[in-house]
Amino acid sequence: MHALSIPTWVVHITSVVEWIAAIWFIWVFAGVTGHTAWRALSFGMLPSLISAMCACTWHFFDNAESLSWLVTLQAGMTVVGNSTACLAAWWIWRQAKTSQDSVEG
């Protein structure tokens, strides 16, 4: 656990907590507003959360060489997370456009 300073640990841990809170708030927002397409964003954010947890785990164990596979998993989950968040944003846009078209039509 000596791999990071205490302020850096604070940043890492609070970032994970913030990400969990954001996922939850988006999920609640979808339910309150009835715009369920936003739930796709909650799911799309999960791979990025896994990525962050991989980084924290690897650092917790002092960047142990035996856990270097976590770095690869983190990189992969970052790519997947960016892609799923992008797809979720497209889905939200598409649903909003469809709703707008039906109101105008």
Q: Check residue 66 and report its DSSP letter.
A: G
> Residue range 24-49: average pLDDT?
97
d(CA 31, CA 63): 40
Of 55, 51, 31, 53, nearest to 42 by C-alpha is 31
pTM as predicted: 0.89
pLDDT tens-digit series, residues 59-75: 999 999 999 999 999 99
- Report the pLDDT value the prediction gives residue 103, as an integer from 0 to 100: 75
Q: Where are the domains of the chain?
A: 6-104
- Report the pLDDT value the prediction gives residue 9, as an integer from 0 to 100: 94
- Report the pLDDT value the prediction gives residue 105, as an integer from 0 to 100: 62
Place of tokens 């979808």: 30
